[in-house]
């Protein structure tokens, strides 16, 4: 790999998510880890022990080491705008852990600034390039389950809601719905089409934290289609990622494989195991491809956050809301 094509990478926020991205970035020879940013001295020391420069702030990074080619933001959502702004103005392309920000105004400002500076600010979507999801969507659109009536999505992970910044609404902006809601909407829209209205049916804090750790969401789509989303921080993934229920069959999209069951008794097992690490590598490749493109794609991060907040509003109004 030539030095010309190698791109310098900075990781901003050196927590658990950053460790995952560091492992994935190491698989791409065109990326060279140049620096890390975190206010925590202990986290900086871990990175420095690997021979990588670490800084307490983005401003220090830019002043001392200069602007990297790309950066991955893994900080609490409340800090995204204040960190993204100097990086974008310095000419850095950004890959951003979802959600894009904690509030829609900040997300809109990041998107507008990226457009003005002609830089990429891409919100990470784990399933955006997932071939298994695309294949399921193609089968459903082709009538594999007959007339589609409903899509159910379930995402979960074991997480202590009070263990880190995610339990502080001032930093996170919300709980499990803010963390996993973007992924859930990505799946439901791939299968059922764009969301038209949304409402939060249930919101619970079973662990006693200030943010929710369980939610149930209902979405409405064209032609009377309904989406049902269940998210939890209280259980390991067990259910299928999604179920597409039609009048002549059902397609279950799983982590290891998918199953198509027809009303005539026919069954088909569809291969398509998902490896989270491979999915992250695919996201990185998509990001690097986007920054090379002459025409920027519209990042869905701001629109997704608007829907997340519309659902939060509905938990107070009891009505369907629009973004």
Element (H, E) at 172: helix 169-172
Pairing relationship of beta strands 257-262 and 53-55 according to DSSP bridges: unpaired
SS (HEC) of 132-160 = HHHHHHHHHHCCCCCCEEEEEEEEECCCC
224: left (phi over 0), alpha (psi -120 to 50) or beta: left
pLDDT at residue 1 in the model: 39
Q: pLDDT 10s digit of each residue in the chain, 323 long?
A: 344 489 999 999 999 999 999 999 999 999 999 999 999 999 999 999 999 999 999 999 999 999 999 999 999 999 999 999 999 999 999 999 999 999 999 999 999 999 999 999 999 999 988 888 999 999 999 999 999 999 999 999 999 999 899 999 999 999 999 999 999 999 999 999 999 999 999 999 999 999 999 999 999 999 999 999 999 999 988 779 999 999 999 999 998 889 999 988 889 998 777 888 889 999 999 999 999 998 889 999 999 999 999 999 999 999 999 99
pLDDT at residue 2 in the model: 45
pLDDT at residue 275 in the model: 85
Pairing relationship of beta strands 197-204 and 214-220 according to DSSP bridges: antiparallel
pLDDT at residue 3 in the model: 45
* Residue 168 tokens, joined: 């502080």
Q: Which domains, ranges and CATH numbers included, belong to the chain?
A: 7-126+279-298 (3.40.50.720), 131-274+305-317 (3.30.360.10)
| SS percent in the chain: helix, strand, coil, step 5 | 40, 25, 35
Integer Rg of the chain from CA: 20
**pTM recorded for the entire structure:** 0.94
pLDDT at residue 289 in the model: 95
């Amino acid at each position: 790999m030539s030095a010309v094509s190698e791109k310098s990478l900075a990781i901003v926020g050196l927590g658990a998510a950053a460790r995952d991205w560091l492992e994935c970035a190491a698989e791409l020879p065109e990326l060279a880890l140049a620096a890390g940013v975190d206010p925590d001295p202990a986290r900086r020391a871990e990175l420095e022990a690997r021979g990588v420069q670490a800084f307490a702030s983005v401003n220090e990074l830019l002043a001392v080491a200069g602007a990297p080619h790309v950066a991955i933001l893994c900080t609490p959502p409340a800090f995204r705008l204040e960190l993204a702004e100097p990086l974008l103005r310095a000419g850095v392309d950004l890959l951003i852990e979802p959600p894009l920000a904690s509030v829609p105004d900040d997300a809109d400002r990041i998107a507008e600034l990226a457009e003005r500076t002609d830089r990429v600010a891409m919100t990470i979507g784990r399933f955006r390039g997932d071939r298994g999801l695309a294949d399921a969507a193609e089968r459903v659109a082709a009538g594999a389950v007959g007339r589609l009536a409903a899509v159910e999505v379930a995402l979960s992970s074991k997480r202590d809601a009070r263990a880190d910044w995610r339990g502080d609404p001032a930093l996170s902006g919300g709980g499990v719905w803010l963390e996993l809601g973007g992924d859930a909407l990505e799946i439901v829209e791939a299968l059922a089409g764009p969301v038209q209205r949304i409402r939060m049916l249930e919101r619970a804090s079973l662990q006693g934290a200030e943010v929710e750790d369980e939610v149930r969401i209902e979405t409405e789509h064209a032609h009377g289609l309904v989406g049902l989303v269940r998210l939890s921080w209280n259980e390991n993934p067990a259910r299928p990622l999604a179920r597409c229920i039609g009048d002549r069959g059902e397609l279950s999209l799983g982590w290891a494989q998918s199953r198509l069951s027809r009303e005539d008794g026919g069954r088909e097992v569809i291969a398509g195991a998902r490896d989270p690490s491979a999915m992250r590598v695919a996201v990185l490749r998509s990001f690097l491809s986007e920054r090379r493109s002459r025409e920027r794609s519209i990042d869905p991060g701001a629109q997704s956050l608007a829907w997340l907040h519309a659902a939060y509003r509905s938990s107070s109004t009891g009505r369907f809301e629009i973004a």
